[in-house]
Amino acid sequence: MDIDYGKAFTFVFEDKNWPTKLLIGGILSLIPIVNFAAIGYGLKVLKNVAEGAEQPLPEWSDFGDYFMQGLVSFLGGLVWAIPVILLSMAIAFISAIGGYEGDPQAVSGPLSLCVTSLSCLSGLYGLFLGVVTPAAMTQYAVSGELGAMFRFGQIFKYITSNLGPYIIALLLGLVAGFIAGFGFILCVIGVVFTAFWAMLVGNYLLGQAYAASEKVVPEVVA
């Protein structure tokens, strides 16, 4: 399958009901807890693209299902982030016993070395998360199984065997986020809703990358 990267930025507007769908998603994204539904909706888009649906944007009729998918994906991502959380707690603890006053850089001696080392580890793992988590989310979105987010061998194999398209998808997703940050989308949408658009773009790209690697048999998803 040839990947049409450009279409990822325009596919939303090809749906005849895109203003309503984008409006709902944008509003839900602003509401704490309820915004899990917007995340789940994005995962549905990813799945639809991976399965070759002609109209990737689903209706908002399955709100409860979208909410649960978003919540589960959030919890799964939280599990992946546990090492960063623990490292941050260790840095805070070491800095506290070092007697600093709000600035970790004020810690001196051996404690300073510990803080610096842990900070580097935290940064490296954060970078690792940025590369691996989208693949884990992709596996979950396509399979619908929480366990798919933690099948490490399958996830790493997917990334390494599909490295080019996958990395391009991640980078273009960042581009979409950058554009959204400046509100350079159609003025009728408004800056508030561009973040939701950017998420859909990123998920569309991930869905294309998955379809290209797995050669998923096209399936129309309502």
H or E element, residue 125: helix 110-143
Using alpha carbons, select from 51, 21, 56 the residue that is nearest to residue 37.
Answer: 21
Report the pLDDT value the prediction gives residue 203, as an integer from 0 to 100: 96
Q: Which residue type does 212 have?
A: A
Report the pLDDT value the prediction gives residue 172, as an integer from 0 to 100: 94
> What angle do the packed helices 163-182 and 152-161 form, to 10 degrees?
90
> Quick one: how many helices (H) and strands (E) in the chain?
8, 0
**Sorting pLDDT into bands at 50, 70 and 90, what band is 136?**
very high
Angle at 127 between CA 125 and CA 128, to 5 degrees: 60
pLDDT over 50 at 218, yes or no = no
H or E element, residue 179: helix 163-182
* Residues whose CB is less than 8 angstroms from the CB of residue 112 and which lie 6 or more positions away in sequence, other chains included: 98
User: What number is the average pLDDT over the span 16-28?
Assistant: 92
Report the pLDDT value the prediction gives residue 182, as an integer from 0 to 100: 67
Report the pLDDT value the prediction gives residue 221, as an integer from 0 to 100: 42
User: What number is the average pLDDT over the span 153-178?
Assistant: 92
Burial of 164 (0-12, 13-18, 19+ CB in 10 A): exposed
Report the pLDDT value the prediction gives residue 222, as an integer from 0 to 100: 41
What percent of the chain is modeled with pLDDT above 70? 84
- Reported as a single tens digit per residue, the pLDDT across 74-105 is 999 999 999 999 998 888 887 777 655 445 55
Q: What is the 3-state secondary structure (H, E, C) of 32-86?
A: CCCCHHHHHHHHHHHHHHHCCCCCCCCCHHHHHHHHHHHHHHHHHHHHHCHHHHH
- Tokens 């002609």: give the residue: 54
Using alpha carbons, select from 204, 131, 212 the residue that is nearest to residue 170.
Answer: 131
**Sorting pLDDT into bands at 50, 70 and 90, what band is 216?**
very low
- Reported as a single tens digit per residue, the pLDDT across 143-155 is 999 999 999 999 9
Mean per-residue pLDDT over the chain, rounded: 85
Stated pTM of the model: 0.84
Rg (C-alpha) for the chain, rounded Å, is: 20
- Tokens 């960063």: give the residue: 84
What percent of the chain is modeled with pLDDT above 90? 63
pLDDT over 70 at 112, yes or no = yes
Report the pLDDT value the prediction gives residue 207, as an integer from 0 to 100: 95
User: What number is the average pLDDT over the span 179-205?
Assistant: 75
